[in-house]
A and B are shown apart, each in its own frame.
Chain A
Amino acid sequence: MAKRQPKPVTPTEPIWIILRRKRSEVLKKGLREMAAILKIAPTHLSDIETGKRTPSDAVIGRICKHYEISEVALRAGWSRPFSAVATIASQDATTIEKVPALLSAAKTLSPAQWDSLIEAAHRLTGKPKEGPR
């Protein structure tokens, strides 16, 4: 019997609503208090929590640490890929041409299928498999 591939968990609410609720109900911090912890202005945090602003990579890192939410979930919530994606996709003419085609072909893959694709890439390049991020 074929085993079902697990589907990636997609939050049903915008990430900023999840963040606001976690801050006030779980972490029990006020807006200004949390802004100070994140080393940003209260206005900045308010804009993030009302969906007006997407945080920078540095702020995403601090949110990840203080809210205990994975960086992957945060980046998925804001549709903000790791900066390595842009770096690799633009490193030379080949990747500029091929990365969009690869991603387009792979966009509906399950997590397990992605793992297989990554393994295949490692075999092709002869590089050892990297551990989880």
Chain B
Amino acid sequence: MIHTLPPPFKETRSADLAAEIAAMNCLEECRTSLRLAQIPLPVPIERWIEHPLKMDYGIDDMPGADGYNVLGTKVIRISPRILDDKTRYRWVLAHELGHARLHDLKSPRLKLDDPRYSQLYANEVERQANRFAAAFLMPLRSLVHSFFDICRARSLDAEHTIVSLLTRTQHGPELWYRVFLPELAERFGVNRYGVLFRLGELRLGDDTPFILPRHSIVLHQCLHMGG
């Protein structure tokens, strides 16, 4: 069983730490059960959710939702509306798997008609399921290795590039927007908002964000404008 995040990452928010640890253990369970040397990318969630994770997975019409998990059970259903949107489908599957792994009937849920339901940061159960989805689809070690792989593939100096990405430099947002967001999204089978969510939530040893919040805001604006 895994109990902590690999350095240099650290998470002081208990709900986020629980989601991160649960996702890492879930991935490790799949890897060992299938006797794999390493976790393949993109994580084959559609197959793994049934075997070896043994979820009761199916497709079902549901008004106003992309998917659901019957809390306290292994039942996961996905709306047919999202089947053709590959990245959204993968994210929703991982999100519902997060509910199945982390929550039960005693979990503090907001009702669907609660005005705060769609507010991510007010809705801890949904936020935790998203953190699980991000951690499951973008495993930490693979994420870190990916930065170096992308630098190597693009003949970029890794040290210089990563400093540019993580600090307030002129080229940082451009590098994120043109190179790293699209390549990370492709590699992990998520969309660019998913990558941003993942990176924006990661914390380092001294509890500082992994990427500058300012970068995150600029990138969100860029994506919104036509990314």
Contact = CB atoms under 8 A, between A and B. Distances in A.
Interface bin, chain A? 10 to 19
Interface stretch (B52-60, B110-118, B123-131, B177-185): B52-60
B45 to A, nearest CB: 9
Interface stretch (A27-35, A107-115, A117-125): A27-35
Contacts of B83: 32, 42-43
Interface residues of B, number: 11
Contacts of A46: 58-60
A24 B80 CA distance: 20
B192 to A, nearest CB: 23
B103 to A, nearest CB: 23
B80 A43 contact: yes
Nearest to B79: A43
A32 B90 CA distance: 12
Given A32-B83, A42-B83, A43-B80, A50 B47 contact: no
Contact of A43 (B44, B46, B59): B59
B51 A28 contact: yes
Chain B binding surface SS class: mixed
A25 interface: yes
B207 interface: no
A17 to B, nearest CB: 10
Given A24-B51, A25-B51, A32 B58 contact: no
A102 B57 CA distance: 43
B50 interface: yes
B46 A31 contact: yes
Interface string A18-62: 001000110011111100000001110011011000000000000
Given A32-B83, A43-B80, A24 B47 contact: yes
B51 A31 contact: no
B50 A20 contact: yes
A91 B155 CA distance: 76
B195 to A, nearest CB: 23
Contacts of B51: 24-25, 28
A42 B50 CA distance: 15
A8 to B, nearest CB: 29
A49 B58 contact: yes
Nearest to B55: A24
Nearest to A45: B59
A41 B61 CA distance: 13
Closest 6 A/B residue pairs (Cβ): A30-B46, A46-B59, A24-B50, A24-B51, A46-B58, A43-B80
Interface of B: 44, 46-47, 50-51, 57-60, 80, 83
